[in-house]
Amino acid sequence: MGKLYIDVLLYIKKDGKIIPKQIKAGFEGEWIPIDKVLDSRRRASLKAGGTGIRHTCVINYNEMRREIYLYDEGQKWFIETGE
């Protein structure tokens, strides 16, 4: 398992709360909308290593609903990969 650093489009509220809205991932690096953020809390990535804010997100990719973990490591964002 490893980390795949990706581009993320964010919405930052006036109170400073950060809400991820889209990720640039997928097979061809296309932008994938985040339908919903279910949870955001400080957690470690047990598969890839590292600590940050873990956002549990719902996406629809290739007509399949998926839950993914999106990690904020300060100024860098990653998802866990199987590679």
Q: Give the start-to-end residue ranges of the domains of the chain.
A: 2-81
Residue 47 reports pLDDT greater than 80: no
* Closest by Cα among 59, 21, 55 to 38: 55
Are 9 and 18 in contact by the 8 Å Cβ rule? The answer is no
Q: How many CB atoms lie within 10 A of CB 34?
A: 19
Cβ-proximal residues to 75 (8 Å cutoff; 6+ apart), any chain: none
Cβ-proximal residues to 25 (8 Å cutoff; 6+ apart), any chain: 4, 6, 32, 79
Task: Tell me the per-residue pLDDT of 1-36, one tens digit each, with 9 for 90 and over.
Answer: 788 999 999 999 999 999 999 999 877 889 999 999
Task: Tell me the per-residue pLDDT of 58-74, one tens digit each, with 9 for 90 and over.
Answer: 999 889 999 999 999 98
